[in-house]
Amino acid sequence: MKTLNKYTFTAAGSELFTQEIINNQRNLLNDGTCNMDKVYLNQSISYVFDCFDKYHKNIYQLHTLTPELRLNKSHIDAWKLAYNKNPKAVKDLRKKYKEEVQMCPYCFISNISELDHYIPKARFPEYSLLNINLVPSCSGCNKIKEDKWSVTTPLFFNPFIHNFLEERFIKAELTPDNLSRNKIPSLKFYIDIDNCTNKSEGLLLQSHFDKLGLIKIKNGKGSYAEKATQILSCYLRILNKIFARKIIDSDESSALDYVESEVDLFIESSVETYSINSMEVALLYAIKESRDNWIDFFNHL
Ligand SMILES: [Zn+2]
């Protein structure tokens, strides 16, 4: 799990970014309606900059922010439209993230293709053009996140703010049930809240992974298990080959020890590539921890 750089945007930088977009709108305007939008943006810009100030001051408590009541319907429409027109500054920001980050910081399994409004644009149009509210994401996460927002507790972690790299909390379990039907063991991912130093962060992670459908706490598998099943099959085939080679000149226990040392090497390189909290590393640990079932798994391949 690679998170974005810790919060580095400043309030002044955010205002500049937005002001630049509004100034550049002049070049795009060619009818009366659009000119009115520019008037509405300029009319309400001081209210919106007040909101930016609040956003930066409450960056660790964003769910406590309330909508800006001084904006009327025309202002709101103008702010939403200003983003929907895909201005150059927004395009440039998206391009920069695609080059620098690549992997979606919400799910860590898909590539970045768009920008998600961390605080939904539909509910808080005043943050439509706030740079720190624009989180690079894959289309799947952006679509699922949509306008979900809670005023009592954060539902999703914020890749600009939260940094969960210390403890291993994404875990998986392999169970040998239904082996004969599926040919590979069934796989379940979960968040190990007990392994999170801060319990409220643990609950936030659980909410995030559940709501994005990455792990399904109550109903079904989630996209981590779906994506990992194919990878699991590949790993088991590789390990089976290693085992078959080793068992020729050693006993079963030594051959399994050797396979386990290979799994450790896979873990080491995956931590390096994907970091400690990733689907791949969770899967490899689950394989390591199911050593008692390996022979059974191999026999069903
Ligand atoms: Zn994603």
Amino acid at site 243: F
Contact 202, 210 (CB under 8 A): no
Amino acid at site 205: L
Q: pLDDT per position in the chain (301 positions), as tens?
A: 455 766 788 999 999 999 999 988 765 555 555 678 888 999 999 999 999 999 999 999 999 999 999 999 999 999 999 999 999 999 999 999 999 887 898 998 899 999 999 999 999 999 999 999 999 999 999 999 999 999 999 999 999 988 766 788 899 999 877 665 667 888 899 999 887 778 888 889 899 999 999 998 877 788 999 999 889 999 999 999 999 999 999 999 999 999 999 999 999 999 888 888 889 999 999 999 999 999 999 988 8
Q: What is the 83 CA–ligand 1 centroid distance (Å)?
A: 21
Which residues are near ligand 1, the ion (C-beta closer than 5 Å)?
A: 104, 106-107, 110, 138, 141
pLDDT of 1 = 47
Q: What is the 143 CA–ligand 1 centroid distance (Å)?
A: 9
Taking the C-alpha atoms of residue 121 and residue 276, their distance in angstroms, rounded to an integer, is 33
pLDDT of 142 = 97
Q: What is the 141 CA–ligand 1 centroid distance (Å)?
A: 4
Q: What is the 227 CA–ligand 1 centroid distance (Å)?
A: 13
Q: What is the 162 CA–ligand 1 centroid distance (Å)?
A: 16
DSSP 163-197: ---SS--EEEEEE-TTHHHHSS-EEEEEE-GGG-S
Residues in the chain: 301
Q: What is the 212 CA–ligand 1 centroid distance (Å)?
A: 8
pLDDT of 180 = 59
Q: What is the 138 CA–ligand 1 centroid distance (Å)?
A: 4
pLDDT of 195 = 79
pLDDT of 28 = 54
Taking the C-alpha atoms of residue 256 and residue 254, their distance in angstroms, rounded to an integer, is 5
Q: What is the 22 CA–ligand 1 centroid distance (Å)?
A: 29
Q: What is the 110 CA–ligand 1 centroid distance (Å)?
A: 5
Output the 3-class SS for 271-289: HHHHCCCCHHHHHHHHHHH
pLDDT of 6 = 67
CA 270, 275, 281: angle at the middle one, nearest 5? 50
Q: What is the 241 CA–ligand 1 centroid distance (Å)?
A: 34
Q: What is the 226 CA–ligand 1 centroid distance (Å)?
A: 15
Strand partners, 103: 111
pLDDT of 155 = 94
State the burial class of residue 240 (Cβ atoms within 10 Å of its Cβ: 0-12, 13-18, 19+): middle
pLDDT of 31 = 52
pLDDT of 230 = 87
Q: What is the 136 CA–ligand 1 centroid distance (Å)?
A: 9
CA distances (Å), origin 169, targets 82, 198, 222, 254: 40, 12, 17, 31
Taking the C-alpha atoms of residue 183 and residue 28, their distance in angstroms, rounded to an integer, is 59
Contact 85, 28 (CB under 8 A): yes
Q: What is the 222 CA–ligand 1 centroid distance (Å)?
A: 13
pLDDT of 221 = 81
Which contacts (CB < 8 Å, 24+ apart) does range 83-91 have? 83/121, 83/128, 83/129, 85/25, 85/28, 87/21, 87/24, 87/25, 87/28, 88/21, 88/24, 89/17, 89/20, 89/21, 89/24, 90/21, 90/115, 90/129, 90/134
